[in-house]
Amino acid sequence: MRNTFGTRLTVTLFGESHGPEIGCILDGLKPGLPVDLARITDLLARRRPAGPTATARVEPDPFRIVSGVYQGRTTGTPLCILIPNTQAESGEYRGLADTPRPGHADYTGFVKYQGFADPRGGGHFSGRLTAPLVAAAGIVLPALEARGIRIGTHLARCGGIPDRSFSDLPVDLAALACAPFPVLDPERGSAMREAILAAAEAGDSVGGVLETAVTGLPAGLGEPWFDTVEGLLSHALFSIPAVKGVAFGDGFALADLRGTQADDPFRMDGGRIVTEANHNGGVNGGITNGMPLVFRTAVKPTPTIRTPRRTVSLASRSDTEITVQGRHDPAIAPRAAIVQTAVTALVVCDLLTEAEG
């Protein structure tokens, strides 16, 4: 039962949705990295729910760094971040311990942990635990940006409404860094919000697609076969609750192309080797080729909805029905955008640490 990810730079998650605190431990950080507390605060705010399109559980997230930092810089020893849970309302879950919610980890967690798992709010499986991941990214993102690496994620589609595609990546990534809603086209973002609200009013939810771009990566990161860039990123991305699919570059659309259309011809550009297209998303043979790393994830609709759902009683082994109340996101994809950026940053840092020390 392992809750640690990474090779040279590792992150360990701990805590439960309704426990006293959640947090993470980062191990393998280089000593001397500046720690910007304001940057961590800003990233956590971007993950925080806001308005009627998100859950009413709004945690202020007053994080504490309790080890691994001295006089504003990393020491090189394990860095521990703690975030208190202050807005949990566990009473909403008393009736659910015996009736697992469809689409959630209630049943699988019950089986794996032999009935001893904390079921409140999803326990250790809750999306609440993405907050420490975002806080951890607040440590490593400035280090990546200092060497010219930029990461950004937008809501490529939500509720059937598409955003525009990435075009001018430096401009788009800079805009996403301060966008109140993670889209490139604000008008389409407004249409997405309307679709989310319509689903919420109907007691339902919607899913979405997130697209991430990483610029400034050197060529040569990753390994062939079992530790490919795609493989490591997919491993981490599937840890984000509700992510059910990952595709790099043109992804499944490549299956409908011919080889003459799908390859990315090389050319010289001011002494630098680049490709004329980026159908493969910046990766060849599992290794970065120096072009922008681009991938998408599919985020399923939030499974906790007010509409009555069929389930079972674990105690009586009989069929039954539940109606879940409480505070839940009618669409988790918008808030997951910064989480995807955070997870990507942690994987990229691990790849760089493995390659360069």
pLDDT tens, position by position, 282-333: 999 999 999 999 999 999 998 877 778 899 999 999 999 988 776 678 899 9
What integer pLDDT is reported at residue 97 of this predicted model? 80
Rounded Cα–Cα distance for residues 117 and 97 (Å):
10
Question: Containing domain of residue 34, as a range?
Answer: 4-356
Three-state SS for 58? coil
Torsion of CA 108, 112, 117, 123, to 10 degrees: -50
Rounded Cα–Cα distance for residues 256 and 262 (Å):
9
What integer pLDDT is reported at residue 300 of this predicted model? 96
Residue 292 belongs to a domain with what CATH number? 3.60.150.10
CB atoms within 10 A of CB 148: 10
Rounded Cα–Cα distance for residues 100 and 114 (Å):
14
What integer pLDDT is reported at residue 120 of this predicted model? 85
What integer pLDDT is reported at residue 122 of this predicted model? 85
78-114 pLDDT, tens digit each: 999 999 999 777 666 666 788 888 988 899 999 999 9
**pLDDT under 50 in the chain at which residues?**
none
Structurally, the chain folds into a number of domains equal to 1
Q: Are 158 and 181 in contact (CB under 8 A)?
A: no
What integer pLDDT is reported at residue 52 of this predicted model? 73
What integer pLDDT is reported at residue 92 of this predicted model? 65
What integer pLDDT is reported at residue 351 of this predicted model? 97
